[in-house]
Amino acid sequence: MLNLALCHRSYVNETEGRERRDLANNEKLEFLGDAVLGLAISAHLYTIAGTRNEGDIARIKSFVVSEDSLYAVAQHVGLSDYLLLGRGEEMSGGRLKKAILADSVEAIFGAVFLDAGFQGAERVIGRLLYDEVDRVLANEHQQDFKTLLQELVQRRFKSHPRYRVLKREGPDHDSTFWIDVTIDGRAYAPGKGKNKKQAEQQAAEIAYRAMGHLPPGGRD
């Protein structure tokens, strides 16, 4: 079951003949693990959140179960070394792709649930993610600046940030993007990242800080 949790669809797609008929990928376990993770974190927050309202709890949960958070778990346990990938995905840097690693973490949670029940899965999830819950409660987590900026711009200007790709360099498997963001007619200095999402996050953080909502190096 652990092997199945680590088996990406590219590995199955590139396997031929009888062996392929005997293989499955980890997508169904990922689907199950996502639900198990959500329940475990929701139950934990219900216990420790005190007087926080439902909206606050939902936001905390969204940070803890996010792709970034699960990617950090994958890095912490060295998961990339154990993934089963097809050659094409391997050559394109799939072993380091955030989405693949985060999905595999969810698949492992699904596998543990099937093997050891919810209590077993909850123990594993707790060891790997309850510290992140504490960081979010203390406001020491990596924040989603795109969401924060959008909420601020909606409140202040009744509009939305507009992102624009200024430049892209490098081959498809190792590109770097520069993206700026325009708010109420003003463009803010571009963010830089290995993909569009990272560059947009950095651009959003630059704009969010520049609009006076955060001190340099500070937290909301």
pLDDT digits (tens, 9 = 90+) for 129-147: 999 888 887 765 556 788 7
- Residue 151 appears among annotated catalytic residues: no
Q: Report the alpha-carbon distance of residue 100 to residue 111 in Å, rounded.
A: 16
Residue numbers of the chain with a pLDDT score lower than 70: 16-22, 139-143, 213-220
The residues facing 186 across adjacent strands are: 183
Whole-number pLDDT of residue 219: 43
Instruction: Of 204, 202, 197, give the one whose Cα is nearest residue 181.
Output: 204
Instruction: Of 190, 189, 208, give the one whose Cα is nearest residue 199.
Output: 190
Query: Which member of 30, 34, 89, 180 is catalytic?
Result: 34
Whole-number pLDDT of residue 142: 57
Report yes or no: 60 and 45 within 8 Å, Cβ to Cβ. yes
Helix (H) or strand (E) holding 155: helix 145-157
Q: Report the alpha-carbon distance of residue 14 to residue 119 in Å, rounded.
A: 36
The residues facing 93 across adjacent strands are: none
- Residue 30 appears among annotated catalytic residues: no
Q: 15-32 pLDDT, tens per residue?
A: 765 555 557 899 999 999
* Angle between helices 54-64 and 27-48 in degrees, nearest 10: 140
Domains in the chain with CATH codes: 2-137 (1.10.1520.10), 145-210 (3.30.160.20)
All residues at 6 or more sequence positions from 137 whose CB lies less than 8 Å from its CB, including other chains: 48, 60
Query: Which member of 30, 89, 103, 106 is catalytic?
Result: 106
Whole-number pLDDT of residue 189: 84
Report yes or no: 12 and 125 within 8 Å, Cβ to Cβ. no
Q: Report the alpha-carbon distance of residue 180 to residue 153 in Å, rounded.
A: 15
| Inter-CA distances, 24 with 6, 15, 141, 163, Å | 11, 11, 36, 39
Kindly provide the b/e burial profile for residues 71-105, where b requires at least 16 CB atoms within 10 angstroms of the residue's own CB: bbbbeeeebbeebbbbeebbebebbebbebbbbbb
